[in-house]
Structure 1
Amino acid sequence: SLVDSARVAMATRQRELHAFSYPNPDDVLVVRGGRGLVLAFIGIMPDFRLPLEAYYGFLALKNGVPVSYGGGWELFGTLDFAVNIFASFRQGESAYLATQLLRAYRRIFGMRTVVVDRYQLGHESTEALRSGSFYFYHRLGFRPRNPDVLRVLETERTKIAADASYRSPVRVLEQLAGDEVFLSLPGGLPAPEKRLRATDVAALVARFVAREYGGDRVAAVRETAARVGLVLGVPRRASWPLSERRAFEGMSLVAALIEDLARWPVAARRALVAVMRAKGASSEMRYAHQLDGHRRLRRSLEALTSG
C-alpha cells in the first residue's frame, strides 16, 4: 500500500514523519500529477491529530519510485508547507513536483496563503543551505517580508544581475534564511507574518490549564468539556463516535478561552459544535473547511492571541 511505501521510504533513510507513524488508512488521498508523478496525501488517526491545525503528510512517487516527502499544516486559510526531495532526485523536476503538491493542497484545503519556515530555507539546516533552498522557493513565487532579509535579497539580486556566474555564499544564504517566506494566493492575508498561529493558541491553553487547574490537564479536559458542552447545547454526547467525543473534549480547552461564548448566536455555537466533531471524523479535510468558515471563532482567537 502507499502507507507501507511511505514508511519504508522513510525507514531506509532513517527519517520519520508524524503522518506516516500514525496514518489513517481511511484518509488517504491520491493525486496523479502527470509525467508519471503520483502524490499520496496521508491523514492522521483521530487520536494523534494536531490540536487545532489540519494536517496531511505526503509521499511523492515518480514512475513508482519514492522521490519526496513532506507535509502541510493548515489553519484558517494559511498552509505551512514543507517538502524534502530525496538527494538523488533534486536535479530533476523539483519545481514541477512542488507546484503539483501546492495545487493538490489547494484542492484539499483551499488555502489562500502558503508559508515556508526558515528551517526549510536553511536556518540550522546545512542540507537546505547546500541545496539552495531559499532560491528554489523564490523561483516558485515565495517572498520574504522581513525588512532585513529583503535588504540582503536586493543586494544579492543586484550581484546576480551583474554577473550570471555569481553564487550567494553560505553566510549570505544563512541571512536569507533568517525568516519565513510567503506565497500569496487570491484572498490571501495582507500581512501573513501577523497571522493567527496554533502555537500562540497552545500557549494560551497551557497558561489556562496551569492557572485554573494547577497544571492538571486531565482535570482541565474533563471539567471544560462539561462546561463547554452545556454552553454549546450538547451536554450529552454518549451517542457520538468515540473519536468525535475525544475531539470535542480536546477542543473544549480552546473554546473555554472565549469569555463571551455563551453570548454567541445559536447558529455560531452550533457551527462550533460541528467543527469540534469534525476534528474527530474520518477525514480532516471537512474539518479544515468548516474551521476556515467559522469567522467568529477566528476573530475570537485572534483577539485572544493579540491581547
Structure 2
Amino acid sequence: MASLVDALARPLPPLQRAPRALAEALIEAAHVAMATRQRELHAFSYPNPDDVLLVDVDRGVRLAFVGILPGFRLPLEGYYAFLALKNGIPVAYGGGWELFGTLDFAVNVFASFRQGESAFLATELLRAYRRIFGMRTIVVDRYQLGHESAEALRSGAFYFYHRLGFRPRDPAVLRVLEAEQSKIAADRSYRSPIPILKRLAGAEVYLALPGGHREPEKRLRATDVSGLIARLIARDFGGDRGVAVRESTARARRELGVTGWTAWPTAERRAFAQLSLVAALIGDLETWPSVERRRLVRVFRAKGRGSERTYANLLDSHRWLRRSLEALVT
C-alpha cells in the first residue's frame, strides 16, 4: 500500500478557480450543510466568492476550497476552508492554515459518510492543499485527535491519522502508543479505551514531507508572533493597539521605501498596516538588502489582494522574514 507521502507526490488534476455563480452556489451549500448540523466555520461566515478553488478527483468527489474576504483573514497564516462533495452531496468540511511550509489540517467527515472513504478523502484533500500551499510538514492538533473533543475520541481519530502515517513526537505519548501497540499485537480484538485515547491525544501528530521541518514541534507558530506583538504593544505603546498600528505603519513605509501609498486599494493598505506590527519586531529591517525589503512589501500587499494562495506562497518564500522571526522566539 502506497504511503501518504507517496500519494502527495502524485500529480493532481489542476485546481480551477470557480466561476462566480458556481462559487456562490458552493458557498451556499456550505452554509446549509453547517447550519443543519449547528456548526460554524470562519471561512464560511466570511467567504470570498472570487477565491474559490475546485478540483474533481476520483469516485465522484469534488473538493471546493474557500478563501476568506481580505478584511477577515487570519493575521499571518494563509487559510482555505473546504467543502467536500460526493455526487453533489456535502460529505465533509474542514480547513488548512499554512505558515512557512507547515500546514495545520483539520477534517470532519459528516457522521453518515464515515464508512470506508474517510482515508481517501483526507488523502485527496491533502494532495490539493499540497498544490495550493506546497507545504513540507503537516500537523494535526490535539483537538482533532480527541483532546476536549468527545466526538474525535469516539471516532478513534488518533488511529485514523496514525494509519495515514502521522506520528507523535511527545515522549509521554510515544510511551503510551508503544504500550498500546504491544497490546494490539498480542490481541487483535483489543481496542484502546477512552482514557487511553485521551492520553494519545495529548500532543500534536506530524507528517514530514520532503524538505519538512526536522523538529516540527519547535516550528515558528503564529501564536509565537502574536505573543511578541502583544508584548511590543504593551511595552512601547502603553497597550494601545491603534497607536501601535499607526506608528508601525509609518515606520514600515519609511524603512521599506513604500511609494504611492494613497493609490493602493484600501484592502492592501489595511493588510500592510496590520502586518506592519510584524515588521516592527525586526530591529534591523532598514539594513536588509533592498530586494528583500521590496519583496516584503509584496508579501504585505498580497494579504489584502484577491488570493490567499498568492500571499501564502510569497510569505513562504521570504526566508529573511522567517529567519528574523525564528531568531526572536528561539
With normalisation by structure 2, the TM-score equals 0.92
Corresponding position of 1:24: 48
Corresponding position of 2:94: 70
Equivalent residue for 1:179, pick from 191, 196, 203: 203
Q: Distance in 1 between matches of 2:279 and 2:306?
A: 22
Any idea what SS the aligned residue of 1:115 has?
strand
Decide whether the 8 Å contact of 1:221 with 1:253 is kept in 2.
yes
1:153 aligns with 2:185: no
Equivalent residue for 1:100, pick from 119, 124, 128: 124
Equivalent residue for 1:284, pick from 308, 315, 320: 308
Any idea what SS the aligned residue of 1:257 has?
coil
Q: Distance in 2 between matches of 1:235 and 1:229?
A: 8
Residue identity over aligned pairs, in percent, reads: 72
Corresponding position of 1:305: 329
RMSD of equivalent CA atoms: 0.7
**What is the CA distance between 1:217 and its match in structure 2?**
1.1
1:124 aligns with 2:148: yes
Query: What are structure 2's unaligned runs of at least 5 residues?
Result: 1-24
Any idea what SS the aligned residue of 1:254 has?
helix
String of CA shifts for 1:62-99, please: whole Å, max 9, x gaps.
11111110000100000000001111111130000000
When the two structures are aligned, how many residues end up with a matched partner? 306
Q: Distance in 2 between matches of 1:58 and 1:214?
A: 40
1:88 aligns with 2:112: yes
Corresponding position of 2:262: 238
Decide whether the 8 Å contact of 1:226 with 1:235 is kept in 2.
no
String of CA shifts for 1:11-52, please: whole Å, max 9, x gaps.
111100000000000000011121010110000000000110
Any idea what SS the aligned residue of 2:261 has?
coil
1:7 aligns with 2:7: no
What are the within-5 Å matches in structure 2 for residues 227-266 of structure 1? 227-234=251-258, 236-266=260-290
Residue type at the aligned position of 1:55: Y
Give the 4+ runs in structure 1 shifted more than 6 A: none
Decide whether the 8 Å contact of 1:152 with 1:175 is kept in 2.
yes
Q: Distance in 2 between matches of 1:153 and 1:62?
A: 34
String of CA shifts for 1:140-194, please: whole Å, max 9, x gaps.
1100000111111111111111111110011110110000000101110000000
Query: What are structure 1's unaligned runs of at least 5 residues?
Result: none
Q: Distance in 2 between matches of 1:49 and 1:217?
A: 18
String of CA shifts for 1:253-292, please: whole Å, max 9, x gaps.
0001100001101011011001001111100101111111
Any idea what SS the aligned residue of 1:210 has?
helix
Any idea what SS the aligned residue of 1:186 has?
coil
Q: Distance in 2 between matches of 1:12 and 1:210?
A: 43
Residue type at the aligned position of 1:22: Y
